[in-house]
Structure 1
Amino acid sequence: MTTGVALNATDAANQIDATVQLAREAAAAGLRSAWFGQTFGADSPQLAAVVGREVPGLHVGTSAIPVFGRHPLLVSSQAQTAQAATHGRYHLGLALGTKLLTEAGFGIPFERPIARLREFLTALRQLTETGTADFHGELLTATTPIPARVPGAENGVPLLVAAMGPQALRASGELADGILPYLAGPRALDEHIVPAVTAAAKAAGRPAPRIVALVHGVVTDEVDSVREKVTEQLAFYEQIPSYARVIELSGALRASDVAVIGDEKAVAAEVRRYRDAGATEVVFSGTEIAGAADRRRTWELLGGLAGRW
């Protein structure tokens, strides 16, 4: 996998049907992977399983399931089912989530997120790799009085984390297969994120981690008006400390400053910057913001870049 796209069909009459059609277009454009967010709407692993079955050869991923309000046993069942359905093309992304959505949505305190992430990853890896678990932590318990293996998912599930802060990067390097940083520009990747997670993985005796850079961007000639829309769309992230920090580390003032918006030449140059900063894969999100024509234009460029990565 080298280049991919996050698919968003929440405004469609039928989100599942529309997402499958978008995934077919993405694959036809040469993109290697399609990723699906997780909020309070569609179930991302289930959506990935459907798309993976309908579009053979396309890798599918969740980006990302918050660890609060979930349990490793249930997430393992979802992930293994998606992995079996796609014959090994599913990639599971996890996230800490946010205090606002955790406490308002689930009514539970957003406390000790890094400790919860560590316990969640430890239990989840046992489950996805062996189909069993006997984990007793401070915050989570996961045991399997009966097997939890899904036939067809024996090779496990890649575990990625939407990590950007020092503690989350350390936990991800030690316990996950890679990271899914969002709104982290090439400077933040090169100087802070990639060195931290790579060092943690090396110290833990794990392979070099995957760096799946989630980039908000689109190919368009209407740069100023699109950037204005993106500024409004991404303003929410500027209120979240982890995102505000990584935006600053990227040398930017606002989230929209990290967005990649321009013609084919400009966007291709930025993709190369992400690759040079350590990204092993680049996934574009928000490509629908300038309309269907510019979305297709963006996908054609990214698909072409996939073959030259």
Structure 2
Amino acid sequence: MELGIVLPQPASDAPTPANLVETTIEQARLAVGLGVRSAWFAQRMDFDAIALAGLVGRELPELTVGTSVVPIIGRHPLVVAAQTRTTQAATGGRFQLGLGLGARNFLEPLFGVTEPRTITQLREFLTVLDPLLRTGEVDFAGQTLTARTAWSGHLPGAQPPPVLVAAMGPKALRVTGELADGTLPYLAGPKTLAEHVVPTITEAASAAGRPAARVATLVATVVTDRAEEIRARAVQEMAFYETIPSYRAMLDREGVARAGELAAIGSAEQVAEQLRAYRDAGATELVLSQTTLGNTEEQLRTWQLAEQARDW
């Protein structure tokens, strides 16, 4: 099974922008040396995840890079498509575009969106993005956006990358199965994957005549000898997600009260057993996140699981 990582970033107030890029490349180089072959970058407000993925991927030809995730609120598909084609060309076809609706209570104050029609917006964004990535051309006018190209936007050497959506609710999963290549669920435990995420997106992809959808599942993971201490930290640091309705619904489906309960924490053997439960529930690949819950040594031990996971 393929196992990737969300590459942690330095604190935004620590390095200069140039040092942030250099430090991230060195982190990625270290991860590659430990067997990691795919790295994902979360979008923040102080740097662009698509651009950073391109810089890292160009430096490390062994590494597939992706975003997990770029919120579509506040972005136009014409711009995202141009960024994506550039990064795909720069990495020689090793880019994966991860998109998300974003947490409404976080993004609305930033972008001034007062009446978002999220599912319609997702459908129209993906409807516009697909031809832009394939041909560089689009002519679309919908309820939430308009997109027209005055000239061909095709970039030689930039084949369409996989597009995955951090979809969780049934409507978002159905749109994703119909119009994208897969999903990037977070805080979707094994029960939720098996009973909700996998069957919903699989049915939608099949009905649309698309290949089986990828289910690249993000799991907060730490290999450690301090399991009790790290678990307590995970419960505290991940509590934010419990206040977001979409994540709260996933936790309720799984039957857990705290987001931190879904973190895979313990020895390498214990963590491997927890991660295999996601595989058995239908995850096609795993992405380890929140490794900054541990120290540097624990982070490296966690990354070493990537090599072992190929034999699972």
Whether 2:7 is the aligned partner of 1:35: answer no
Alpha-carbon displacement from aligned partner over 1:61-92 (angstroms, at most 9, x marks no partner): 00111111000000000111110000110000
Q: Shift of the alpha carbon at 1:296?
A: 0.5
Q: Which residue of 1 aligns with 2:9?
A: 9
- Residues 8 and 291 in structure 2, CA contact (< 8 A), matched pair in contact too: no
Supply the distance in 1 between the matched residues of 2:115 and 2:295 (Cα, whole angstroms).
37
Q: Shift of the alpha carbon at 1:131?
A: 0.9
Whether 2:181 is the aligned partner of 1:189: answer no
Alpha-carbon displacement from aligned partner over 1:36-84 (angstroms, at most 9, x marks no partner): 0012121000000000011112000001111110000000001111100
Q: Percent identity?
A: 50
**DSSP 3-state at the match of 2:4:** strand
- Residues 129 and 157 in structure 1, CA contact (< 8 A), matched pair in contact too: no
Alpha-carbon displacement from aligned partner over 1:285-307 (angstroms, at most 9, x marks no partner): 111221000000111123221x2
Supply the distance in 2 between the matched residues of 1:204 and 1:128 (Cα, whole angstroms).
19
- Residues 187 and 250 in structure 1, CA contact (< 8 A), matched pair in contact too: yes
Q: Which residue of 2 aligns with 1:22?
A: 27
Whether 2:299 is the aligned partner of 1:300: answer no
Q: Which residue of 2 aligns with 1:113?
A: 118
Alpha-carbon displacement from aligned partner over 1:155-176 (angstroms, at most 9, x marks no partner): 2121100001000000000000
Amino acid at match of 2:311: R
**DSSP 3-state at the match of 2:164:** strand
Supply the distance in 1 between the matched residues of 2:28 and 2:153 (Cα, whole angstroms).
30
Supply the distance in 2 between the matched residues of 1:126 and 1:77 (Cα, whole angstroms).
12
Whether 2:203 is the aligned partner of 1:199: answer yes
**Residues 192 and 102 of structure 1: CA distance in aligned 2, closer, same or farther (over 3 Å):** same
Supply the distance in 2 between the matched residues of 1:91 and 1:41 (Cα, whole angstroms).
21
- Residues 34 and 60 in structure 1, CA contact (< 8 A), matched pair in contact too: yes
How does 1:37-76 map onto structure 2 within 5 Å? 37-76=42-81
Supply the distance in 2 between the matched residues of 1:110 and 1:248 (Cα, whole angstroms).
26
Supply the distance in 1 between the matched residues of 2:115 and 2:303 (Cα, whole angstroms).
37
Supply the distance in 1 between the matched residues of 2:115 and 2:152 (Cα, whole angstroms).
31
Supply the distance in 2 between the matched residues of 1:205 and 1:106 (Cα, whole angstroms).
36
Q: Which residue of 1 aligns with 2:103?
A: 98
Q: Which runs of 4+ in 1 moved over 6 A?
A: none
Q: Shift of the alpha carbon at 1:102?
A: 2.0
**DSSP 3-state at the match of 1:91:** strand
Amino acid at match of 1:46: A
Whether 2:142 is the aligned partner of 1:137: answer yes
Alpha-carbon displacement from aligned partner over 1:192-214 (angstroms, at most 9, x marks no partner): 10000000000111100000000
- Residues 173 and 198 in structure 1, CA contact (< 8 A), matched pair in contact too: yes
Supply the distance in 1 between the matched residues of 2:186 and 2:296 (Cα, whole angstroms).
23
Aligned residues: 307
- Residues 216 and 284 in structure 1, CA contact (< 8 A), matched pair in contact too: yes
Match of 1:220 among 200, 204, 224: 224
**DSSP 3-state at the match of 1:216:** strand
Supply the distance in 1 between the matched residues of 2:137 and 2:96 (Cα, whole angstroms).
20
Match of 2:290 among 260, 281, 286: 286
Q: Shift of the alpha carbon at 1:110?
A: 4.7
Whether 2:271 is the aligned partner of 1:271: answer no
Supply the distance in 1 between the matched residues of 2:34 and 2:254 (Cα, whole angstroms).
30
Q: Which residue of 2 aligns with 1:241?
A: 245
Supply the distance in 1 between the matched residues of 2:8 and 2:301 (Cα, whole angstroms).
16
Amino acid at match of 1:275: R
**DSSP 3-state at the match of 1:217:** strand
**DSSP 3-state at the match of 1:288:** helix
How does 1:252-263 map onto structure 2 within 5 Å? 252-263=256-267
Whether 2:94 is the aligned partner of 1:89: answer yes
Q: Which residue of 2 aligns with 1:250?
A: 254
- Residues 105 and 244 in structure 2, CA contact (< 8 A), matched pair in contact too: no
Q: Which residue of 1 aligns with 2:177?
A: 173
Runs of 5+ unmatched residues, structure 2: none
Select between 78-87 and 15-24 the one with higher mean Cα deviation: 15-24
- Residues 181 and 214 in structure 1, CA contact (< 8 A), matched pair in contact too: yes
Amino acid at match of 1:3: L
Supply the distance in 2 between the matched residues of 1:281 and 1:28 (Cα, whole angstroms).
20
- Residues 2 and 306 in structure 2, CA contact (< 8 A), matched pair in contact too: no
Match of 1:211 among 197, 212, 215: 215
Supply the distance in 2 between the matched residues of 1:250 and 1:29 (Cα, whole angstroms).
32
Supply the distance in 1 between the matched residues of 2:113 and 2:193 (Cα, whole angstroms).
32
